Amino acid sequence: MSARPFLDTNVLIYAFAANDPRSDRAEALLAAGGVIGVQVLNEFVNVSRRKLGRGWAEIEGEVAVVRALVDPPVPLTIDVHEAAVALARNHGFAFYDALVIAAARRAGCTVLYTEDMHHGQAVGELTIQNPFA
């Protein structure tokens, strides 16, 4: 098991947000390092571009900062996909949440920081924690 936490997309978004009360906590989590997945990077780019209206240069700079602070991203493989399908089917997770959980479990993480899922819920050895609660 990895002592390093898995960081969901919202942690990254808040780490780069201006005037958001969650930013300090998110910045501290990111600075401490951890693990992310390719799915998290994909979601970060999508939200940054479509919802926040950031330009490509700014997004690419932020992704470079993230990549410098965290372990190499867990790839989105067919094994991760199949594990996510099983998690969604068996536990009722939304599919994209299940992809994040599957990647965190693949990395051997015991903590997943996210505000998008049920705080305190355990999925095997992985515990979901909302760092902004």
pLDDT mean over 24-43? 97
Domains held by the chain: number: 1
pLDDT at 2: 64
Q: Which residues have C-beta within 8 Å of that of residue 59, sequence separation ≥ 6?
A: 45, 48, 49
Is residue 72 domain-resident? yes
Is residue 40 domain-resident? yes
Give the CA-trace dihedral at 120, 123, 126, 132, to 10 degrees: -30
- What is the length of the chain? 133
Query: Tokens standing for 121?
Result: 């819920």
Predicted structure pTM score: 0.94
Domain containing 124 — which CATH number?
Answer: 3.40.50.1010
The confidence band for 17, taking pLDDT boundaries of 50, 70 and 90, is: very high
Domain enclosing residue 101, as ranges = 6-129
Is residue 57 domain-resident? yes
Is residue 1 domain-resident? no
Residue 1 has pLDDT above 70, yes or no: no
Is residue 87 domain-resident? yes
Query: Tokens standing for 75?
Result: 């790839």
- pLDDT tens column, 44-65: 999 999 999 999 999 999 999 9
Q: Which residues have C-beta within 8 Å of that of residue 23, sequence separation ≥ 6?
A: 14, 15, 17
Is residue 70 domain-resident? yes
